[in-house]
A and B are shown apart, each in its own frame.
Chain A
Amino acid sequence: MSDKGGKGGKSALKSPASKGKDSKGRKVQFDSEDMFDEKFETNGNGNGKSNGKDGTPFAKGKGGKGDKGGSSKKEPPPLLLKVEEELPENAKCLMNCEAAQILQGIQDHMVLLSKDPTIKIPSSFDRALQYANTGNFYTNPHSVRQTLETLKKQDVSDGEICLIANTGIESTKKAFALIPSLKAKKSKVKESLGTALTELNKLKTVTESTIVLD
């Protein structure tokens, strides 16, 4: 078996027929990868292991294709958010508004905390608080979480939920444009996403008016 393989490899360099074979082989490989990718997009809850496997060769394969085949100018694949695959089991995504509430709670005790020189605060704390506050469109993180949690039934992941809240998206069109991974679930998600975004907008306007009052 291995001898045969070696032979094939050698002749591939010489004869055009085997070249064709080679390229054909490649084509099949890409097709299968595309199929995998589609599969991944539609089955958002597929097991993490296979998703992770698909993700890497897919990106690599596309790059290779772009370099070699000048004729096929395919656009690079959209950047899909796969937070869940990268996260360890003990970690969970938080929306900016949730983080802002927690960090602000600590900041409110800072006068007391800074009196005690033995208590150390991480150097990233201030800038993280600042970031959480700028990307915070809502005063009531609990209601935001409740509203968006309903989308979980439609396979919307935790990462996507947080991104929706963090970007303050108002329309489904904007949501699908900014979060390409949602597009794969478009037909399933569209209606409930629309309802959720309308709800979120109501929570948002309350926030804006309170800011004005402040």
Chain B
Amino acid sequence: MFLKVQLSWNVVIPAENLDIKGLMLQKAILVRLLDDFSAKKATKDLGYLLAVTTLDKIGEGKVREHSGDVLFPVNFTCLSFKVFRGEIIEGVVHKILKHGVFMRCGPIENLYLSNQKMSGYQYQVAENPCFLNEKTGSRIEKDATLRCVVIGVKYLEAQKEFQAVVGLEGDYLGPV
């Protein structure tokens, strides 16, 4: 689910980027903010950080004694993406294993759907392996889009990545 978030960060402008012209300073602050924002990539609470939408307020700068850099408190609004337990999402299958499939959903690279969470589907050994529901004829194969429910979410702090376990158990879930 996408989130609209209001944040307050401190942006550090190196002394050499300080300009007499106010406009340039504002640009330097924005560029620096976008830089920090991209580098941050994701947080546990907000998910993947996607874009800064508005720069709401630039506070008064404080000079750092030793370096001469200036620190500006900045309020801004941004967009992020996170999946939640119980959420219905659509994932695209990118890897099929005997025990389940891996899917992508937006910035999330690894959503795991175990074969235990897709009752009715059987693994088919073939050149292009897939899971087949013999009753309905529906297939889970590579590049298929599946509507599924999020069972659990995990955040990997070191990689700044989210992983999730999803299931197909419920009405109206399955290949779209």
Contact = CB atoms under 8 A, between A and B. Distances in A.
Interface residues on A, range: 35 or more
B11 to A, nearest CB: 14
B38 A120 contact: yes
B: contact size bracket: 35 or more
A102 B79 contact: yes
A83 B48 contact: no
Interface string A159-202: 10011001100000010011111000000000000000000000
B51 interface: yes
A98 B53 CA distance: 12
Contacts of B80: 91
Given A103-B79, A122-B41, A128 B107 contact: yes
26 contacts: A79-B86, A90-B5, A94-B1, A122-B38, A122-B49, A122-B51, A123-B38, A123-B41, A124-B48, A124-B50, A127-B104, A127-B107, A128-B2, A131-B105, A134-B90, A159-B1, A159-B87, A162-B2, A163-B1, A166-B1, A166-B88, A167-B88, A174-B171, A177-B170, A177-B172, A180-B86
A80 B86 contact: yes
A106 B78 CA distance: 12
Given A135-B90, A178-B171, A119 B50 contact: no
A99 interface: yes
